[in-house]
Structure 1
C-alpha cells in the first residue's frame, strides 16, 4: 500500500475538502474491514430466510437482502439451484437508479456484462422482453454464461463484440443500455484485494478515455425516450463525473435523471445528478452511478435485431429446457 500512499493522498484531497473525511477514506483503504455479503433473489424469496439478515436501507429493493457478517450464502444449496445471486452491496447501490425506469421495457442491453450482476438486477427489476449481455473479454464469458444459466435468466442472450459494432448495426434500438464501465478498480482496495497502479494518473486517464469511447458507442443504441445507465467501482473524478460531463456535452439529447431516493449520496463534485457511495460509509466498498434519459422523441422505427441474433453465443428462451 506504501506505493499508493502519495497518489492516494492526492485522490483523497480531490474528493474531500474536509480533513476528517480524507482520513476516514484513506483508513478504509489502508486497513480494509470485511463487508457483509449481499444476495439478489432471482426466484421468490422463501417466507423464512435461510440467512440472518441486516435491517434494509431505505433505498434497497425488496429482492435484495444484506446479510449479517459471517454468513456464507455461496455455500448454500439454494445458490446452486439459482435462487439467488451473490453481489457487493455497492453494486446494488449503483444499479438502484434502474428502479425509476418505467416498467414496460422491451430490450435491455448490458454493454460490459461479466460476471452478470447488473444484467441480473435489471432483469429482476424491469422484467424486459429480452436481455442481451455483452462481454468483450473472451475469458470472462464462461462466468457470465454460467451465472445467467444458473439463475434461470430468460429470455436472455450473450454476445462478444466491441461496443462500436453495436453502434453500427443496432442504432436506436434499446430501451435501456447499462455501462458498468471498465475502470481502475480503486474500490478493490477497500475489500482487501489488489489493484496495482490504480491511483496512477496514466492509468486513470487511459481508463477515462476508454470509458468515453464505450459510453459514446452505447448512447447510439439507446432508443428515443430510452435510458443509459453509467456506473463504476472506482473513486477518481476523471473516471466518473468528468466522463458524465463530457458525455452530455457530446450528446446534448441525453439528460441526467434525478434519483430522489439517493439524494443523500449526490456527488458534491458536480451539480449534475449523480451519486457516490464511499467505503467509510461502511455499506460497501464504493461505487459511482448516474442515469441518463434520451430526450429524443420516438421516431417509431421498427427495431431489427436480426444482425445481432446471428452473434448470440448463448441464448436462454422462456419455456426452453
Structure 2
C-alpha cells in the first residue's frame, strides 16, 4: 500500500477507534478499486435486462440495479434513449433516505442538483407534481438539463440562483428540499480520482461554513411537516455530523427522522439519526445522509410559478 498522508492518518483515527478499521479505510483511498456500476431505471425495467446484475440489498429500490463489474451501461443504446441513468451506488444510499417519506409530495426542490442523479431518484421514488432543480454553478447547468431531458423527467424546471434568493421568494413552499451539499469530495479518492487538498483543515472548514449557509437557506423553503434531506460525499465530521448538530441547534422546529432501513449504517459519531457508507464496505465510494422534518403546524405556502419564471426567465430551462 502507498504511504498515506499525515492528514489522512489523522482523519482515520477520528473516524475509527479500531486500528483494523483505520487501516481498511486508508487502503480503500490509497489503493482504490473499481466499484460495481449502478443504474436507475427511469422507465419501466425491461422484462429481460441487457445487463447482468447482482442480487439487490434488502433496502435497495426496485428501480435500481447494481450491475456486475465489467458492465458498461453508458455505452448501451437504452442509455441514449433515456431508459436509465448511471450513478454511483453511494448516491443510491444517500437518496434512499427519501424512501422514508410516506406522505404525498407535491413540490420537490433540489438545491444543488447537477448532474441530476438525486433529482431523478426523487422524481422516480416520490412522483411529485413538480420538480425544481437548481444549480448555482453556470457551467454545470448544461449536464443537468441534458440529463433531465434525456430521462424525460416531467414536469420539471431547471433554475440557476443562489440559495438565498429562494429563501426570500418561495419560503415554506416545498414538501421536500434536497441539499446534496458541495463538499471537499474526499470520496473521490476511493474512485481513483483526484481531490487536491481535501483533507486540509482550511478546506474542510471553508466547505463546512458554505454547507451551513446553504442548509440554513434551504430550511426556509420547507413547508410545515415537510422534509429537508442533507447529503455529502465526504468523510470529515465537520461537514457531516457537526453540520447536523449546528443545524438542529439553530432550527429547533426540525428533527432528524429515523430511517429504519439504514439502521445498520447509523453513524457512530453522533446520537442524531444519520447514516454513513464507508468505502471499505465495498458498496460505494462513501456517503453521508440525514433526513430532517419540519415539525411546525400549518399549511404549505403556494406561489405563482409564472411570476417566478418571469423573474428567472434568462436562466430557466423548462423540461
TM range, normalised to the smaller chain? over 0.9
Query: Which residue of structure 2 lines up, in the alignment, with residue 319 of structure 1?
Result: none
Deviation at 1:307, TM superposition (A): 4.0
Query: Which residue of structure 1 lines up, in the alignment, with residue 110 of structure 2?
Result: 110
Query: Which residue of structure 2 lines up, in the alignment, with residue 98 of structure 1?
Result: 98
TM-score by length of 1: 0.96
Deviation at 1:302, TM superposition (A): 3.5
Q: Does 1:201 align with 2:204?
A: no
Give the conservation status (yes or no) of the 8 Å contact 1:170–1:305. Answer: no
Once the two structures are superposed, what CA deviation does each residue of 1:196-217 show, in whole Å capped at 9, x if it has no partner?
0000000000000000000000
Query: Which residue of structure 1 lines up, in the alignment, with residue 318 of structure 2?
Result: 315
Give the conservation status (yes or no) of the 8 Å contact 1:254–1:295. Answer: yes
Query: Which residue of structure 2 lines up, in the alignment, with residue 253 of structure 1?
Result: 253
Give the conservation status (yes or no) of the 8 Å contact 2:157–2:318. Answer: yes
Give the conservation status (yes or no) of the 8 Å contact 1:170–1:304. Answer: no
Give the conservation status (yes or no) of the 8 Å contact 1:183–1:208. Answer: yes
SS at match of 2:318: strand
| Runs of 4+ displaced beyond 4 Å | 1-4
Query: Which residue of structure 2 lines up, in the alignment, with residue 119 of structure 1?
Result: 119
Q: Distance in 2 between matches of 1:302 and 1:179?
A: 21
5+ long unaligned stretches in structure 1 = 317-321
Root-mean-square deviation over aligned CA pairs: 1.3
Query: Which residue of structure 2 lines up, in the alignment, with residue 39 of structure 1?
Result: 39
Query: Which residue of structure 2 lines up, in the alignment, with residue 11 of structure 1?
Result: 11
5+ long unaligned stretches in structure 2 = none
- Write out aligned runs for 1:78-97 (5 A): 78-97=78-97
Q: Does 1:180 align with 2:180?
A: yes
Q: Distance in 1 between matches of 2:95 and 2:144?
A: 17
Once the two structures are superposed, what CA deviation does each residue of 1:266-298 show, in whole Å capped at 9, x if it has no partner?
000000000000000000000000000000012
Query: Which residue of structure 1 lines up, in the alignment, with residue 154 of structure 2?
Result: 154
Equivalent pairs, count: 316
Give the conservation status (yes or no) of the 8 Å contact 1:137–1:160. Answer: yes
SS at match of 1:267: coil
